[in-house]
Amino acid sequence: MSAKVLVVGSINVDLTIKVAHLPAPGETIHGSEPQFLPGGKGGNQAVSVAASGAEVIIIGAVGEDDHGAAALASLKQQNVDTQGVDVKNSATGTAFIFIESSGENLIVVTGGANSLVTPQDVETKIKVLGGENPVVLCQMELPLESVERAAQVAEEVDGRFILNLAPAAKISDYLLGQCNPLIVNETEATFLTGQRIASIEDALKSVQELAGLTRSAVITLGADGAVWSEGQSAQHKPSEKVQVVDTTGAGDAFVGALAAAFSQGLDLARAVAAGLTAGAKTVQHFGAQPPKSQVG
């Protein structure tokens, strides 16, 4: 029987604008008509878990506004269980996203209701909703103390704790030690190790270093795939070559599919492969979450 995946994370609305190129400091440019799309690392990753066929409950918060109601409706339509989401007296979190013609992006996020998710909220919901041996997945768009409590409670209920350290932040040795795996991109890996990644060989060295601080570690490399280590050795798998439309949410798709694979009993290598497949699919459509027409 598969374990539940509990995504403890942010729920946002993405205000998305297409531009010919990303603006330089001080530069004013023209963009397309804005689109409001569902987002947030927590929401995106929960949708990816559901798309991978696993049972997923999201734990988080939205505001008392139209964006919050729309976000919850969208998550439910994507087969995500939202009973762990509170409605707070605040605005729903918002991400401002600019996407250039190559598919690269620039993102600024405001926390809104996400910043009001408390450690007690997290503890209660994991214990009530998690069932046996849950997979608990966090990112860094909720308060740090709430992420730390999620790790503690995951250990208490014999669950597996996964942390996507995005955006990068300084965390305790305890929290690092609970990660199984820690998932970072090249920039976040450099933040932790101080070592720039300029090649696959650099990435293999960095992921092995990170695995020495955690239970296991993964570094995503965009078009170059991912590397991973459980401490003994490091491995690399390239990504499928596809036509890129929008890179927004590719990392979240990877993380969600990886978590789903763990809930279904797969090992780290096969979980990484599942993540890469999901990430490659995501960059082929506009927006962080798949169009509703693609949802089964």
Provide, rounded to the nearest whole percent, the portion of the chain with pLDDT above 70.
Answer: 92
Q: Are 49 and 73 within 8 A, CB to CB? A: no
Interacting residues of 184 by C-beta distance below 8 A, sequence separation 6+ = 164, 165, 166, 168, 191, 192, 210, 217, 218, 219, 220
Angle (nearest 5°) at CA 62 between 140 and 148: 30
pLDDT digits over 110-151, tens only?
999 999 999 999 999 999 999 999 999 999 999 999 999 999
Interacting residues of 127 by C-beta distance below 8 A, sequence separation 6+ = 153, 157
User: Across residues 229-255, what is the average pLDDT?
Assistant: 79
In the predicted structure, residue 33 carries a pLDDT above the cut 50: yes
Alpha helices in the chain (DSSP H): 41-51, 66-77, 119-129, 144-156, 173-178, 186-193, 200-211, 250-263, 268-282
Distance CA 9, CA 95 (A): 14
- Write down the pTM of the prediction: 0.88
Distance CA 154, CA 136 (A): 6
Angle (nearest 5°) at CA 158 between 81 and 256: 40
Active-site positions read 252
> Domain limits of the chain?
5-25+32-294
Give me the residue label for tokens 């990816």: 48
Angle between helices 41-51 and 66-77 in degrees, nearest 10: 20
pLDDT digits over 148-205, tens only?
999 999 999 999 999 999 999 999 999 999 999 999 999 999 999 999 999 999 999 9
Distance CA 271, CA 266 (A): 6
Whole-number pLDDT of residue 249? 64
Answer CATH for 5-25+32-294 from 3.30.300.30, 3.30.930.10, 3.40.1190.20, 1.10.10.10: 3.40.1190.20
**Residue 1 exposed, middle or buried by CB count within 10 Å (0-12, 13-18, 19+):** exposed
The token duo for 4 is 């539940």
Distance CA 85, CA 163 (A): 19
